[in-house]
Amino acid sequence: MTAGPSTDPRAGAPGAATPTRRNTELALLGFAVLITLAAQCIVDLTVTGSLRAELATFGAWFAAIWAGLHLVVRKLAPYADPLLLPAVALLCGLGLTMIHRLDLADEQADAASGGDAPVQLLWATVGAGLFVAVLVVLRDHRLLARFAYTLALVGLVLLALPAVLPASVSEVYGAKIWIRVAGFSIQPGEFAKICLIVFFASYLVDKRDVLALASRRVMGLEIPRARDLGPVLVAWALSILVLVFERDLGSSLLLFGIFVVMLYIATERSSWLLIGLGLFAAGAFLAYQLFGHVRVRVDTWLDPFAYRDEGGYQLVQSLFGLGTGGLFGAGLGGGRPDQVPVAKSDFIAAALGEELGLFGLVALIVVYLILVERGLRTSLVVRDAFGKLLAGGLAFAVAWQLFVVLGGVTGLLPLTGLTTPFVAYGGSSLVANFGLVAILVRISDAARRPAAPPAPPKPAIGEAPTEVVTP
Amino acid sequence: MTAEIVLQVFRFGFLLLLWLFIFAAFRVVRADLFGGRAGRVASVPPRAAVPGRKRGRGPRTLVVTAGPLSGTKITLGEQPILIGRADDSTLVLTDDFASSRHARLTNRGGQWYVEDLGSTNGTYLDQQRVQGPLLVAPGQPIRIGQTALELR
């Protein structure tokens, strides 16, 4: 099925050399659904002592989402990586369980509140719809490269929209990153992230030779020419603008990090990483000096306990939660994760850490690592440069976002307000990340698909039988 | 509320379940890296089991000197070594210029011969295209697509 004739008869069987591994995916998806249902049962039994009536509906719905996505992948991307979907399923399931658990805590405190888990399940269904749509519309990931500049424009508009809109529509907890219309709130930045990654990939594939080769060697380091610094300076300025006008540390850091790393992947020049770090340091210093909201974040990060009654309260509660969890956690439903403000979205990792402990939180990180590893592996295997850079960028985006979030929750980095992909409560983040994984699935299908069998070798012209050509 | 012992079973049982999932996923990663079933690479006998090694003559390892797999070493035993893109090859190449079953190295009386298995782009021993089985001397480069191999 690959190249050329072979003396081995086994090589003739289709699928023998390049297994699609769809059955592996199905088994692992089943496992992930099972773990989710087990978690839901444990939460219900621990908190209320009995299983809730809606559990059967939830289980059937949740399983149906993944069964449906599995069938779509089987049909539309048969060679796709078998681990991407199960990892997402498990993360999504753990997130839903923790949101449900916090719902229960809210209900105990105040009967009127709660009920976020069904909404999140609905968003997961919408996300699954986007996943299917991406696979149906995008039959070849290289198609994206043709719309790179359009997507860049869309991305920039999405990114800038909340900054332009009045604060009543766009501001929540001091960050102007929302669009709130008719009861729905959307964080357009999550979608802008994907659009911009596509654009970065396409742009850098075109320009990487210039960015990599035109450089001078100074002290063992390749220093690019001044005018080639343009793109990285533009990305830097953009990030600063996001920081100033939307007061969003997270998106700003996310965007700049993604651009610098994609530049590094494209050019293989470590000098870009150093330039990026330098620009970041300069930006961070300026931001600290100029903007109050950044200074508050940094101060509470350096000494959360000194500000425990004001800005540091969230972080202090999160650290207490993680400490209470210890190695093995309090058990699902056994802790008090509702003590942390906004535990469902920004601090869901702290909630999971409290109830599952270090072992559980590390397991969560490893599941993310599997997702990222499969993305990077796709990037290594896929044959075209655009696909390589796009897969690498998307995989890095997930890893980078997780690092920034977990760093914030554990006190390693200043708090940013990014979401934990797939786990945290929030429709935009969930739906956008489903789209991101759909693109990765599409690229991995292209990467693992065996090459089309070449035309049978033509006999040499001398050996070919004489042909009579009649007009 | 549920009994304390049941809660403890839930608490540790769930963590176990999580890590079992990761274990299962890692098995897939491993099968993907080494081709076919997990443990497939072990068909090359481990170093201690190689007979004739103590005699100190003849090549002991197959080293990839160029190409994407550069640096890979395979300990030589008695079994033939299959090279190609097929998952069950001893050395699985990911090279557009390699065929699924590209070439084979066989041991005959302590000496190694390279054979081309009807590949599309051919196997080269030192610039020479391999037609029939050819004796490979240690240090002689074998070229398959972008990959170069050497016996040591």
| Distance of residue A260 Cα from the nearest chain B Cα, in angstroms | 25
Contacts of A242 (CB under 8 A, 6+ apart): A159, A163, A248, A251, A252, A255
A383 interface with B at CB cutoff 8 Å: yes
CA-based nearest residue in chain A for residue B87: A17
pLDDT reading at A335 higher than 70? yes
Residues of A in contact with B29 (CB under 8 A): 83, 370, 373
Residue A464: the pLDDT is: 63
Q: To the nearest whole angstrom, how far is the Cα of A367 from the nearest Cα of chain B?
A: 7
pLDDT at residue A447 is higher than 80:
yes
* Structural domain spans, chain B: 1-32, 61-151
Answer yes or no: do A250 and A176 share one domain: yes
User: Which residues in chain B come in under a pLDDT of 50?
Assistant: 37-55
What pLDDT digit, counting tens, does each position of A105-117 carry? 888 887 666 688 9
Q: Pick the residue with more confidence: A463 or A44?
A: A44
Supply the range of the domain harboring residue A438. Answer: 1-9+18-137+292-452
Identify the three-state secondary structure at position A114: coil
For residue A254, pLDDT beyond 80: yes
Share of chain A above pLDDT 90, in %: 46
Q: What is the pLDDT of residue A310?
A: 78
Question: What is the rounded distance in angstroms from the CA atom of residue A374 to the CA atom of residue A440?
Answer: 9
Task: Provide the number of structural domains found in chain A.
Answer: 2
Of A17, A39, A363, the CB nearest to B19: A363
Q: What whole-number percentage of chain A has pLDDT above 70?
A: 87
Read off the pLDDT of residues B70-93 as tens digits, 9 standing for 90 and up: 878 888 877 788 888 887 788 888
Question: Is A463 within the bounds of a domain?
Answer: no
Contact A6 B100 (CB under 8 A): yes
Q: What pLDDT does residue A471 have? A: 63
Of A259, A290, A321, which closes a domain? A290
What pLDDT does residue B54 have? 42
Does A424 fall in a domain?
yes
Closest residue in B to A34 (Cα–Cα): B17
- Residue A192: pLDDT above 50? yes
Residue pLDDT, tens place only, A33-52: 999 999 999 999 998 888 88
Alpha-carbon span B53 to A6, nearest angstrom: 33
Q: Answer yes or no: do A351 and A253 share one domain.
A: no
Band of the pLDDT at A459, cuts 50, 70, 90? low
- Which residue(s) pair with B134 in the sheet? B114
Q: For residue B52, what pLDDT is reported? A: 43
The mean pLDDT of chain A is 85
**Phi, psi for residue A175 in degrees, rounded to 5:** -100, 125
Query: B99, A35: Cβ pair inside 8 Å?
Result: no
pLDDT, tens digit (0-9, with 9 covering 90-100), for A145-166:
999 899 999 998 888 888 777 7
Residue A172 burial by CB count (10 A; 0-12/13-18/19+): exposed, middle or buried? middle
Please determine, for residue A57, whether its predicted confidence score (pLDDT) is greater than 90: yes
Residues A315 and A326 in one domain: yes
Euclidean distance between CA atoms A440 and A375, whole angstroms: 7
In terms of CA atoms, which chain B residue is nearest residue A45? Answer: B2
With CB atoms and an 8 Å threshold, state whether B10 touches A11: no
pLDDT of A190 over the 60 cut: yes
Is residue A461 domain-resident? Answer: no
Q: Which residue of B has its CA nearest to A9?
A: B101
- The ipTM (two decimal places) reads 0.86
Q: How far apart, in whole angstroms, are the C-alpha atoms of residue B35 and residue A334?
A: 43
User: What average pLDDT does range A121-134 have in this prediction?
Assistant: 96
For the domain covering B61-151, report its CATH number.
Answer: 2.60.200.20
- Kindly state whether residues A158 and A127 are assigned to the same domain: no
Choose from A180-189, A304-313, A356-365, B30-39 the range with maximum mean pLDDT.
A356-365
